[in-house]
Amino acid sequence: MNNIGGIQENSGARLQLIKAGLKRRYAKEKIFRTLGITAIVIALMMLTVLFVTITKNGYSAFQQTFIRLKITFDASVIDPEHTGDTGVLSQADYGRLVKKTLREMFPEVKKRREKRDLYSIVSSGAAFQLRKMVMDDPGLIGTTQTVWVPADDDIDMLIKGYIKTGKEGTGRIKADKAAWVNTLIENRAIEKRFNFAFFTGGDSREPELAGIWGAVVGSLYTMFVTLILSFPLGVATAVYLEEFAPKNIWTDIIEVNINNLAAVPSIVFGLLGLAVFLNFFGLPRSAPIVGGLVLTLMTLPTIIIASRVSLQSVPPSIREGALGVGASKMQSVMHHVLPLALPGMLTGTIIGMARALGETAPLLMIGMVAFIVDIPAGIFDKATVLPVQIYLWADSPERAFAERTSAAIIVLLAFLLIMNALAVVLRKKFEKRW
Amino acid sequence: MNRNEIIKAVGKPFLSEEKVKISCREVNVYYGQNHAIKNVSVDIAEKEVTAFIGPSGCGKSTFLRCINRMNDTIKTCRIEGEIRLDGENIYDRNVDPVLLRARIGMVFQKPNPFPKSIYQNVAYGPRIHGLARNKSELDEIVITSLEKAGLFNEVKDQLGHPGTSLSGGQQQRLCIARAISVQPELILMDEPCSALDPIATAKIEELMDELRQNYTIIIVTHSMQQAARVSQRTAFFHLGNLIEVGDTNEIFVNPEHKLTQDYITGRYG
């Protein structure tokens, strides 16, 4: 090294050198920072576009057009022999009541074809609604009630402004139909109301009757099966591999395979489910139990990998501390390592579950794509799930299903948000930062 | 090497039989290909503090961890020779390492309290070994252990607080309380003061002086002053060899071996 005098002599030049370099270093930093911010802004913009379009397309589905009808519950139509028998009440032709009311509202309609058009402004669900009212309260028979019934989806779309009335003979809404609707609007006999049916009903061929609840329940059951199978299995596998298994060629092979499994396309798991669970074990088709099993296979690698990472991050000093006071291997893992690793394991599980919730392809293979109207009552019932429901509706030609597709996506995103929020709460609960 | 040769080489490794707590004979430790401990034979006296000193990487910690079989957890580690605790070889096939570690407590270099309350930290050992029949017995064990570790007065109002919220020195004393809660015969301390400030260090050294009334203590330390202050016997390790062992007073005043002399006078290491 030079003596101190030499360094002092050179110090001016040295500082100049460092200063010149500093400028370059700061410039680099600035570029990096700008790139980072740009990336974040682009991502946020995309997210905003996604949310805005979905909400814009979907929010109208939360409302449904209803038509006010003054229904006379005519005893001669419902129960001509005055039996009061529930069998008779449930078999009665409630459609006739609706048609009669409509004819009374528009007495000028005489021709058969015109009549048919007139009847079609009200949803076919109206008759079911009346039936339910009578079944709930037979005392209604013989009285006249004001009832709001859902309008047909075409009328709904017209009121919401998605379709226009065409010229004579063209378009879905003919001129006379439009005239009736105008009359209804003038009489304040048509209005948009909150669409309860969408949140409480199952699927339907009629968009105005189709609801998301069946798919939500199906998703809940499927997620439930997936969670109770994949979490314990995944955690147990990770603990064994990380803490107990010897390190040899076999465990290496297992590890490589688990990592590979995480990258297998999900439809392959669907094929496996079809071959093994349906054809070999004979489990019911389209059922959440099978969906859950398939999704368990799909999520297991994710959970195992995340759990192993979080086990590795537990400081070895904790293990040594436990062994040092004479805890057995099992005790040191169960009492100390596992509780510390649990938050990380939960995060991994939630990532896996979120992926499983949005999964469609493997479920198509095991029949969860079927058209199912009933709300599933258990994990062995036929069901569909939210993403498959979205797929089904997106595939339907009716204009009204387009808005319901977006609405279903909103519901799916809300579902996901609730699930993630729950995970954060659980994490906070288990996380001990001391 | 026979007994006399060893004595000639390393000073005073052997003690009269009634004083011996642990006797090590020709212990060799390998980490894979690396020969970490070379042919070490030494006796550890009962109810005394024995210090292992030596430069970094000399194998003193490795040797300490052999005594409670902590090296069992390292897959590549292989141990030869015999270590006898009260005459019984701890590497015998029928010796249970869990039981052994209940007899030999350990305090680590970095304070490592469990992320649980102070009470739970101390109660953990007695609980897993079933040493307390009921809650009040467990309370008593926890309190006596904390008292013996000189921590009780500082934490008696916050037994439910997390152990990790204590200061470094308090944490280390908590770890000592945790070690003595299972009433071991021997306490191994692996550089217990290296992460502590001088005041906390002084407290722990004081504590060791008291503990040696009831326990046999082995301490690994970097600080020669510490070894001189707390120990009755000192062993100097170098590159896996036991260079010299003897009464602390003699070793520090009049080392026989040149390496020892260089090390304790600061010319080496």
Extents of the domains making up chain A: 4-59, 63-200, 213-430
Distance (Å) from the alpha carbon of B253 to chain A's nearest alpha carbon:
35
Dist. CA B242–CA A421, nearest whole Å: 59
Query: SS3 of A425, please?
Result: helix
CA nearest to A357, candidates A428, A403, A298, A273: A298
Using CA atoms, how far apart are residues B105 and B171, in angstroms rounded to an integer?
Answer: 16
Asked if the Cβ–Cβ distance from B179 to A340 is below 8 Å, we say: no
The confidence score (pLDDT) of residue A218 equals 94
The shortest C-alpha distance from A241 to chain B (Å) reads 15
Give the closest residue to A215 by CA, choosing from A204, A229, A227, A231.
A204
Which three-class secondary structure state does DSSP give residue A71?
A: strand
Rounded Cα gap, residues A51 and A268, in angstroms: 31
Distance in angstroms (rounded) separating the CA atoms of residues B198 and A327? 32
Q: Which residues of A touch B (CB under 8 A)?
A: 246-247, 315, 317-328, 331, 335-336, 339-340, 432, 434
pLDDT, residue B268, reads 64
Q: Tokens standing for A394?
A: 């997106």
Q: Which positions in chain B touch A335 (Cβ < 8 Å)?
A: 124, 128
Which tokens hold the place of A313?
Answer: 């991050």
What pLDDT digit, counting tens, does each position of B182-195 carry?
999 999 999 998 88
Q: What is the pTM of this model?
A: 0.83
Task: Determine, for residues B124 and A315 on separate chains, whether the beta-carbon distance falls below 8 Å.
Answer: no
Distance from CA of A316 to the nearest CA of B (A): 10
Are A317 and B124 a contacting pair at CB < 8 A? no
Task: Calculate Rg over the CA atoms of chain A.
Answer: 32
So what's the pLDDT on residue A141? Answer: 85
* Cα–Cα nearest to B84, from B46, B129, B47, B54: B46
Query: DSSP state, B71?
Result: G
Interface contact A321-B114, CB threshold 8 A: yes
Burial of B253 (0-12, 13-18, 19+ CB in 10 A): exposed
ipTM of the complex: 0.87
**Residue in chain B nearest A247 by alpha carbon:** B75
What per-residue confidence (pLDDT) applies to B87?
86
Q: How far is A400 from chain B (nearest CA, A)?
A: 57
A24-28, Cβ contacts within 8 angstroms, sequence gap of 24 or more: none
Among partner residues B73, B106, B115, which is closest to A340 by beta-carbon distance? B115
Query: What local confidence, expressed as pLDDT, does residue A117 receive?
Result: 86
Chain segment B123-161, per-residue pLDDT in tens = 999 999 998 889 999 999 999 999 988 889 999 899 999
Q: Dmax of chain A from CA atoms?
A: 123
Q: Strand B34-45 to strand B241-247: parallel, antiparallel, or no bridges (unpaired)?
A: unpaired
Q: In a mutagenesis test of the A interface, which of B107, B114, B119 is the best target, namely the one with the most A β-carbons within 10 Å?
A: B114
What residues form DSSP beta bridges with B77? B31
Q: Say whether B165 and A323 touch across the interface (CB within 8 A).
A: no
* Number of Cα atoms under 13 Å in the Cβ half of residue A61: 28
Identify which has the larger pLDDT, B269 or B120: B120
How far is A434 from chain B, CA to nearest CA, in Å?
5
C-alpha A373/C-alpha A384 separation (Å) is 10
| Chain B residues with beta carbon closer than 8 angstroms to that of A339 | 115
Say yes or no to pLDDT of B101 above 70. yes
Please check whether residue A386 is in contact with residue A412, taking contact to mean a CB–CB distance below 8 angstroms. yes
pLDDT value for A36? 97
Give the pLDDT score at A1: 45
Question: Which chain B residue's Cα is nearest to A315?
Answer: B112
- Residue type, position B254, single letter: N
Q: Which two tokens stand for residue B96?
A: 């249970």
Contacts of residue B108, Cβ cutoff 8 Å, sequence gap at least 6: A317, A320, A321, A324, B175, B190, B192
Contacts of B181 in chain A (CB under 8 A): 325
Cα–Cα distance, A180 to A317 (Å, whole number) = 80
Contact B128 A324 (CB under 8 A): no
CB contact under 8 A, B70 and A247: no
- Would you call B102 and A326 a contact, using CB atoms and an 8 Å cutoff? yes
Identify from B67, B120, B124, B145 which residue to disrupt to test chain A contact, counting A C-beta atoms within 10 A and taking the largest count.
B124
DSSP letter for each residue of A212-267 = SHHHHHHHHHHHHHHHHHHHHHHHHHHHIIIIIS--SHHHHHHHHHHHHHTTS-HH
Of B114, B162, B163, the CB nearest to A336: B114
The rounded distance, in Å, linking the Cα atoms of B194 and B198 is 10
Is the separation of the CB atoms in B174 and B111 below 8 Å? Answer: yes
Q: How many helices (H) and strands (E) does chain A have?
A: 19, 3
| Nearest residue, CB atoms, A321 vs list B98, B108, B129 | B108
Average confidence (pLDDT) per 10 residues, chain A, 434 residues: 54 85 92 97 96 91 91 84 81 88 88 87 89 87 89 88 66 78 87 90 90 94 95 95 90 92 91 93 92 94 94 91 91 92 90 90 90 90 93 90 92 90 83 59
Name the closest residue on chain B to residue A317, using Cα atoms: B112
Select B3-110+187-264's CATH number: 3.40.50.720, 3.20.20.240, 3.30.1280.10, 3.40.50.300: 3.40.50.300
β-sheet with A144-150: strand ranges across: A144-150, A63-72, A190-194
Q: What percent of chain B has pLDDT above 70?
A: 96
Six-digit token pair at A174? 């003919």
Q: What is the DSSP string of A145-196?
A: EEEEEEBPHHHHHHHHTSS---STT-SSS-HHHHHHHHHHHHTT-EEEEE-H
Q: Under an 8 Å CB criterion, which residues of B touch A?
A: 68, 70, 73, 75, 98-99, 101-102, 105-108, 110, 112-115, 124-125, 128-129, 162-165, 175, 178-179, 181-182
Amino acid at A71: I
Partners of residue A319 in chain B, C-beta under 8 Å: 73
Q: What is the pLDDT of residue A305?
A: 94
Picking from A247, A318, A326, the nearest residue to B129 by CB comes out as A326
Distances (CA, A) of A241 to A29, A231, A238, A306, A314: 42, 15, 5, 13, 15
Query: Least CB-CB distance to A326: which of B101, B108, B175?
Result: B101
Q: How many CB pairs under 8 A join A and B?
A: 70
CB contact under 8 A, A319 and B75: no
> Which helix (H) or strand (E) covers residue B38, if one does?
strand B34-45
User: Shortest CB distance from B70 goes to which of A320, A335, A432?
Assistant: A320
Cβ(B192)–Cβ(B219) under 8 Å? yes
DSSP B110-162: S----SSBHHHHHHHHHHHHT--SSHHHHHHHHHHHHHHTT-HHHHTT-TTSB
Residue B175 with chain A: CB contacts under 8 Å: 321
- B30 exposure class (CB count in 10 Å sphere: 0-12, 13-18, 19+): middle
Checking if the pLDDT of B2 tops 80, the result is no
Please classify residue A224 by burial: count the beta carbons closer than 10 Å to its beta carbon, then call 0-12 exposed, 13-18 middle and 19+ buried: middle
- As a whole number of angstroms, the distance between CA A119 and CA A180 comes to 11
Radius of gyration of chain B (CA): 19
Chain A hits for B174, CB-CB cut-off 8 Å, are none
Mark yes or no for CB contact A325/B125 under 8 Å.
yes
Please give the pLDDT value at position A177: 82
User: Inter-chain contact B115–A318, Cβ cutoff 8 Å?
Assistant: yes
* Residues in chain A, total: 434
Q: What is the mean pLDDT of residues B223-247?
A: 90
Q: With contacts defined as CB-CB under 8 Å, which chain B residues touch A328?
A: 98
Rounded-to-integer distance, Cα A346 and Cα A424, Å: 9
Chain A residues within an 8 Å CB radius of B125: 325-327
- What local confidence, expressed as pLDDT, does residue B257 receive? 84
Identity of the residue in B108, B125, B162 whose CB atom sits nearest the CB atom of A326: B125
**Bridge partner residues of B107 (DSSP):** B189
pLDDT at residue number A2: 47
Question: A406 Cβ partners below 8 Å, 6+ apart?
Answer: A53, A54, A55, A56, A57, A58, A61
**Number of helices (H), then strands (E), in chain B:** 11, 10
CATH code at A213-430: 1.10.3720.10
Look up residue B68 and give its DSSP letter. T
Q: CA nearest B163 in A: which residue?
A: A434
